[in-house]
Amino acid sequence: MKLSYKIGLATSGLMLATGVATTAAAAQASPHQAVAAAATSRPSISSVSFSGYYGYGSPTIPTLTISGSGFGSAAPAGASDNTTGCGTYTANGEVFGSNLYFIDDNYFEAGYSASTGADCIGLTVESWSPTQVVLQFGNAYETYAHWYLDNGDGYAISINGSIFGGTVSGLL
């Protein structure tokens, strides 16, 4: 499935789910309670910062720091991504279904999995709090074609249904 199609599906599903949740909550609660229920049903991502090195052959894997609210106290459940359709890796992180994933333009995707398979690059959760998530890519990062970040790449990240996107910057 093309990445742009997945982003479109995720965005459509997010809008639909938000509308359904708001409508259902409004039918069963006061207006104040309905707004509070809709506001707390999914996290809010306010910014993503990148640190480390860009491009192929970089000395370290970049770190992503996601700031916002409502992330919860623990990462969603993940599954090992050491054995993939692209090969077997060690320390390749985990995949999280549609609960946590990263997309770099049309170059690569990390952390997503479905019944048909998983991304070749997993995500490693370095830390997780209700307001900040710190991630790195698994060891399959930078092992094929353009599976690495460059400043100027477009990206999208999703945490438990909240989607945020922008342009990669800040890498050395």
Percent of the chain with pLDDT over 90: 72
Q: What is the greatest pairwise CA distance in the chain?
A: 56
Whether 31 shows a pLDDT value over 80: the answer reads no
The C-alpha atoms of residue 87 and residue 81 are separated, in whole angstroms, by 10
The C-alpha atoms of residue 91 and residue 139 are separated, in whole angstroms, by 6
Whether 155 shows a pLDDT value over 50: the answer reads yes
- For residue 2, the surrounding DSSP H or E stretch is none
Average pLDDT, the chain: 84
The C-alpha atoms of residue 34 and residue 21 are separated, in whole angstroms, by 9
| Per-residue pLDDT tens digits for 7-29 | 554 444 444 334 434 334 344 44
Residue with tokens 């477009």: 154
The C-alpha atoms of residue 52 and residue 43 are separated, in whole angstroms, by 26
- Please state whether the predicted TM-score (pTM) of the whole model is above 0.85: no
pLDDT tier for residue 6 given thresholds of 50, 70 and 90: low
Pick from 135, 140, 148: nearest CA to 120: 140
CB 53 within 8 A of CB 62: yes
What is the dihedral angle through the alpha carbons of 30, 35, 37, 41, rounded to the nearest 10 degrees? 160
Whether 168 shows a pLDDT value over 50: the answer reads yes
49: which 2 tokens? 């910062």
